A = this chain, B = another copy of it.
Amino acid sequence: MKTTIADVAGLAGVAKSTVSRYLNGGYVSDETRKKIDQVIKDTKYEPNTFAQSLKAKKTNLVGVVIPRLNSYSASLTLKGIDEKLRGEGYQLLISNTDQSIDREIESLYSFANQKVAGIILMATQITKEHLMAIREIEVPILSIGQEHQGVASLVYNDEEAGYDLAQYVLGCGHRRMIYVGVSEADVAVGKNRKRGFYRALEEAEDVEVDFYETDFSMKSAYRLFDSLNLEGKTLIACATDNIALGMMKALGERGISIPGDISITGFGDYEVADIMGLTTMHYPYEEAGQLAAQTVLYPEAARVSPPKSQIIFRKSVDILK
């Protein structure tokens, strides 16, 4: 039988309330302190978390809503979150939504019902339903990757990242290119990243760019390849590494050499980008995860933006001149 606070109190010859005070840092005389100390050590007493939560209406759980569990950025961010949380004595509760908005909302309510101490939301987009749920449940929420008025968020500066990468490829002499992006419903990746990229292009002269849209999977990118018009193009800029990887597979199969025949870039710096020699933009996912955990637990602390992304130069971009 598990020992309870009443057992401890009995063995130490004091009242429950005294033991509770001892545990929570209230005043207790040195003498009783020692007695309780001893009993707790002997019995290996550990408080029952429900009983605590029942009164406190709070848990040591932090919920994370994630659109895809098996994604490089997600799992690395998760790792960062978990590290921080563990250090602060919190546990990680996960809900994988498989990119379904309904399930995101449902998870939000479900977490709230479990009285989690906070929620980290890695949404694909923030809809009206999201906002309603966020307002209704009274739990600190932090959105990672997507921002929206009235919702605390931690976002990468995707506009800048896009701009920087475009600057780089322009510097390499590329003027005729293809940009393969994703739906603008995804503000961070679909909108900001592209906007930054295009802004740099507009500042340059004699630039032509064709746009194609796909989703986040490697397979879709791979399939899309055949509808691309490569005529005269020297570079394919992809909104994510996965897209770039899909393209590279297609390129490889057709004997088109990188960067000899065509250059390619990605965003994200997935682990494989290294072996594939893909020039891409590195995002500090793990640090961001830690920061997110920190922020959701202690919202009053100064809002910090995530560490900056930076270009990783590999060999998939040809220097033309």
Query: How distant is the Cα of A93 from the Cα of B69 in the complex, in angstroms?
Result: 14
How many chain A residues sit at the interface, stated as a range, is: 35 or more
CB < 8 Å: which of B74, B91, B113, B275 contacts A95? B91
A46 surroundings in chain B (CB, below 8 A): 113
Say whether A272 faces chain B, with CB atoms less than 8 Å apart.
Answer: yes
- Within the complex, the shortest CB–CB distance from A15 to chain B, in Å, comes to 21
What residue of chain B has the Cβ atom nearest to residue A96's Cβ? B82
Interface string of A107-126 (1 = CB under 8 A from B): 00010011100000000000
- Within the complex, the shortest CB–CB distance from A103 to chain B, in Å, comes to 8
What residue of chain B has the Cβ atom nearest to residue A106's Cβ? B86
Query: How distant is the Cα of A59 from the Cα of B48 in the complex, in angstroms?
Result: 12
Query: How distant is the Cα of A277 from the Cα of B92 in the complex, in angstroms?
Result: 36
Query: How distant is the Cα of A69 from the Cα of B83 in the complex, in angstroms?
Result: 11
- Within the complex, the shortest CB–CB distance from A95 to chain B, in Å, comes to 7
A59 surroundings in chain B (CB, below 8 A): 50
Task: Say yes or no: B70 contacts A96, CB within 8 Å.
Answer: no
Task: Say yes or no: A49 contacts B114, CB within 8 Å.
Answer: yes
Task: Say yes or no: B113 contacts A49, CB within 8 Å.
Answer: yes
Instruction: Evaluate whether A79 and B75 lie within 8 angstroms (CB atoms) in the complex, with A245-B272, A249-B274 already known.
Output: no
Task: Say yes or no: A91 contacts B91, CB within 8 Å.
Answer: no
A69 surroundings in chain B (CB, below 8 A): 75-76, 78-79, 82
Name 13 extra pairs, CB < 8 A, besides A50-B50, A69-B79, A93-B93: A46-B113, A50-B53, A54-B54, A69-B78, A70-B72, A71-B75, A82-B95, A86-B96, A218-B271, A218-B274, A248-B275, A252-B277, A272-B272
